[in-house]
Structure 1
Amino acid sequence: MKNANQFNGMKILVLGLAKSGCAASSLLHASGAHVTVNDASPEAGNEEAAELRSKGIHVICGGHPADILDAGYDIVVKNPGIPYSNSVIVEAIGKGIPVWTEIELASRISEAPIVGITGSNGKTTTTTLLYHMLNIGNKHPLIAGNIGTVSCTVAEKATQDNIIVLEASSFQLMGIDTFQPKIAIWTNLYDAHLDYHGTSEAYAVAKYGITKNQTAEDYFIYNDDQPKLRKYAARSSAVKVPFSLTGMKENGISADDEQIYWNGKPYVLRSVIKLPGQHNLENILAATAAAILLGCDKKAIESVLSSFTGVRHRMQFVKELQGRKFYNDSKATNTLATKSALAAFDVPTILIAGGLDRGQSFEELRPYMSDVKAVVAVGETAGKFAEFAASCGIEIIMMAEDVQDAVRKAYPLTVAGDIILLSPACASWDQYPSFEARGNQFIEAVMEL
């Protein structure tokens, strides 16, 4: 850990417990800072609070005292999920106190170079792909951020021989000061989390944090097929490495129907790739570019491309049964993600969809329903999705109690060569505690067949 004493003697308020708050508190306390943790959750039965107190850390639970900032803190480190409208955050900013998320701590202490990966979609798949490429290539990667262990915990243990592959959300990137990844990846930019950020521009500016502190000694890999992302790329001081699906490009990484090209030269055949979908090809290009820049051997990259079939719950290939292939895309909690999933296949598809009713329209899916031969609808939006499917001319429409029931009803509708796809286009919270729980039930139901 570099600059281990940089927080020694500082007064730091950590706002919010959870994993990131506990990790940041422990790190800062061990570094000699005077740490106070404040969390709105009740005191009774709070095991995280008890654990921190056992280390000698001051913890205040049950709400945010009006005078909490009167103690004169040097820094506030907040949980990414806490909005900037929170009264403590508003007051801290008004007083000129820096407000960070824990990825800023990770950046300040890491001896290992950091690859920071963000995007509206695809960042988890890109992060996982790159991790496997580097791992097979003996580059000693460590995975961190949204997808893995809290970033500052990973950075605390990392050495110069490691590479940290860090998935960063817009929430985390809003709370940075000097965060500067050696390689930054921005997969794509679509409207998301507007309830948190307020506007599309504010969301995009938060994402731009992935590259805003980079210099000419760093690399910025970005989606050159999106004009609005190119606008932000133009502001970056890093060496720009665009990726594109529109045919061979003279610089960066690109692809056509036959090849992936690196700086305009053939690099690997598309036929090697196992992971389906144009959106996943974008993720592949981004991860491959980073792996090449980090000196990863081509054989290691090809090995991953020829074997990787998806992150769990994200276009995950589950099983082939009597010629029918099952894909778990439970992470598709909006129409944008389901649109990408449907576009990945050009064979007859039985679509399992539906979930929490947020008043959304499914109209965006209409151009992508041509290969859907049947729909099995679940959840609060089952009726609404069934009506939408009927308006698309789909004749076979069934209702199911849950995902397990949907699998049982979907299988008899298939013949060899068909695909059964769980891609709900809705959040899971009407019936499941998480999209992971929903996806796990799908996998279990497939295995029961």
Structure 2
Amino acid sequence: MKKITMFEHKKVLVLGLAKSGVAAAELLHKLGAFVTVNDSKPFEDNDDAKRLLEQGMHVICGRHPEDLLDEGFEVVVKNPGIPYSNIIVKDAIERGIPVWTEVELAYLVSEAPMIGITGSNGKTTTTTLLFNILNEGNKKPLIAGNIGTVACGVAEKAQQDNVIVTELSSFQLMGTNEFKPHIAIWTNLFEAHIDYHGTMEEYAKAKFNVTRNQDEQDFLIYNADQEIVSSYAAKSKAQKIPFSSTRILEQGISCDADNIYWNGEVLMARDMIALPGKHNVENAMCAIAAAKLLDTPQQAMEHVLATFAGVEHRTQFVTTWNGRKFYNDSKATNTLATRSALSAFKQPIVLLAGGLDRGHSFEELREFMPNVHAVVVSGETAERFAEFAKSCGIETIERAEWIEDAVEKAYAVSNEGDVILLSPACASWDQYSRFEVRGERFVKAVEALQQ
């Protein structure tokens, strides 16, 4: 960890706990700051707050006092999930107090170079794939950010010969100031989180923070097939590495139906990538490009690409049984994600769909439904999705209450050679606390089928 002195004897407010808030508070305390922690959870039920109090930090729980900033804080480090409409955050901005997320702290203390990976979709798969490739290539990677361990906790322990592979959301990036990854990856940009950012423009600006401070010694890997991403990439001072899945690029990384190309020359066969779908080829190209920039042996890339079965709940291959392939895509909580999953397969599909009813239309899925020959619906949107499936000409439509029942019914209507795909196009909160719970129960139900 770099020995920085900028926080010594400075008053710093950590707003919101959970993993990131606790890690930020503990790091700031080690750096000599006078740390105050403010969390909405009552103290008597707040084990994190109790532990921080024992370490000598000032703790205020159960409320957010409107006059809190009168204590003279010089920095506010907030939990990424806390919106900028929060009264204390708004007050800090009006007073000119910097408002950061813990990612900024990670950058300030890290002795290791950082790779920052962002985008509306594909972040987790790209991050995990790149980490595995670098690990296979003996590059001593560490994984951090929106996946795995809190970034500042990883950075605190990182050495100069490590590289920190960091998944970054727009929420995290919006709270950065000097953050400057050596390699930035911007997978794509679609409309999302407008309730948090207010407009698509503000959302895009937050994503741009992954490269805003980069210079000519750094690299930006970006989606050349999206005009909006390319327009923001043009503002970056980093060396630009575009990727494309629609045309072969003379510079950067690209593909056609047969091969992956690096600077216009064949690098490897496209079918080396085990993950299904065009979106996963794009994720793989991002990981390959970053690995190339770090001089990773191609053998390491090819080995990982050929054996990587996917991240849990993200078009994750579960098993093959009685000629059916089972995939867990529980993370597909919107139609955009389900479109990507449906387009990944050429085989006939039995689709498990439905969940929390947010009132959104399923029409965006229509052009991707011809390969679906049966649907099993559940959750609040069961009847709406059933009507949509019927309008797509699908005759086999089953209804299930829970995912276990859905798996049994999906198998019953399937044929040898089918893909049985959980890709709900809806959030899970009507029945399950998290999409991970839904996915885990799907996997267990598939395992139970085989017994």
TM-score (normalised: structure 2): 0.99
Shift of 1:8: 1.2
Q: Distance in 2 between matches of 1:309 and 1:43?
A: 43
User: 2:4 maps to what in 1?
Assistant: 4
Shift of 1:109: 0.5
Shift of 1:84: 0.3
Shift of 1:415: 1.5
User: 1:270 maps to what in 2?
Assistant: 270
1:332 maps to 2:332: yes
User: 2:379 maps to what in 1?
Assistant: 379
Q: Distance in 1 between matches of 2:414 and 2:38?
A: 54
Residue 22 of structure 2 contacts residue 48 of structure 2 at CA under 8 Å; is this kept in 1? yes
Moved over 4 A (4+): none
Q: Tell me which amino acid in the other structure corresponds to 2:132.
A: H
- Map residues 172-183 of structure 1 onto 2, 5 A cutoff: 172-183=172-183
How many pairs were matched up? 449
User: 1:239 maps to what in 2?
Assistant: 239
Shift of 1:41: 1.4
User: 1:389 maps to what in 2?
Assistant: 389
User: 1:318 maps to what in 2?
Assistant: 318
User: 1:124 maps to what in 2?
Assistant: 124
Q: Distance in 2 between matches of 1:66 and 1:245?
A: 51
For structure 2, which runs of at least 5 residues remain unmatched after alignment? none
Shift of 1:402: 1.2
Residue 182 of structure 2 contacts residue 214 of structure 2 at CA under 8 Å; is this kept in 1? yes
Q: Distance in 2 between matches of 1:348 and 1:309?
A: 20
- Percent identity of paired positions between Structure 1 and Structure 2: 63
User: 2:149 maps to what in 1?
Assistant: 149
Q: Distance in 1 between matches of 2:403 and 2:336?
A: 21
Q: Distance in 1 between matches of 2:37 and 2:108?
A: 21
Q: Distance in 2 between matches of 1:335 and 1:239?
A: 34
Q: Distance in 1 between matches of 2:106 and 2:89?
A: 21
User: 2:362 maps to what in 1?
Assistant: 362
Q: Distance in 2 between matches of 1:285 and 1:3?
A: 36
- Map residues 38-437 of structure 1 onto 2, 5 A cutoff: 38-437=38-437
Shift of 1:7: 1.4
Shift of 1:323: 0.8
Q: Distance in 2 between matches of 1:225 and 1:329?
A: 25
Residue 112 of structure 2 contacts residue 164 of structure 2 at CA under 8 Å; is this kept in 1? yes
Q: Tell me which amino acid in the other structure corresponds to 1:286.
A: C
SS at match of 1:375: strand
Deviations 1:161-191 (A, max 9, x none): 1000000000001000000000000000000
Shift of 1:58: 0.5
SS at match of 2:14: strand
Deviations 1:428-447 (A, max 9, x none): 00000100000000000000
SS at match of 1:13: strand
Q: Distance in 2 between matches of 1:369 and 1:190?
A: 21
Deviations 1:340-360 (A, max 9, x none): 000001111000000000011
User: 1:32 maps to what in 2?
Assistant: 32
SS at match of 1:90: helix
Deviations 1:304-350 (A, max 9, x none): 11101110000000000011000000000000000000000111100
SS at match of 2:406: helix
Q: Tell me which amino acid in the other structure corresponds to 1:407.
A: V
Q: Tell me which amino acid in the other structure corresponds to 1:237.
A: K
Deviations 1:115-147 (A, max 9, x none): 000000000000000000000000000000111
SS at match of 1:431: coil
Shift of 1:99: 0.4
Shift of 1:4: 3.3
Q: Mean Cα displacement is larger for which, 325-334 or 66-75?
A: 66-75
Shift of 1:62: 1.0
Q: Distance in 2 between matches of 1:309 and 1:352?
A: 20
Deviations 1:62-91 (A, max 9, x none): 111121101111100000000001110111
SS at match of 1:325: strand
SS at match of 1:44: helix
Q: Distance in 1 between matches of 2:45 and 2:436?
A: 26
Q: Tell me which amino acid in the other structure corresponds to 1:392.
A: C
Shift of 1:422: 0.1
Residue 104 of structure 2 contacts residue 179 of structure 2 at CA under 8 Å; is this kept in 1? yes
Q: Tell me which amino acid in the other structure corresponds to 1:169.
A: S
Shift of 1:271: 1.9
Shift of 1:6: 2.7
For structure 1, which runs of at least 5 residues remain unmatched after alignment? none
Q: Tell me which amino acid in the other structure corresponds to 1:227.
A: E
TM-score (normalised: structure 1): 0.99
Deviations 1:183-240 (A, max 9, x none): 0000000000111011111111110110001001000000000011110000000000
Residue 43 of structure 2 contacts residue 50 of structure 2 at CA under 8 Å; is this kept in 1? no
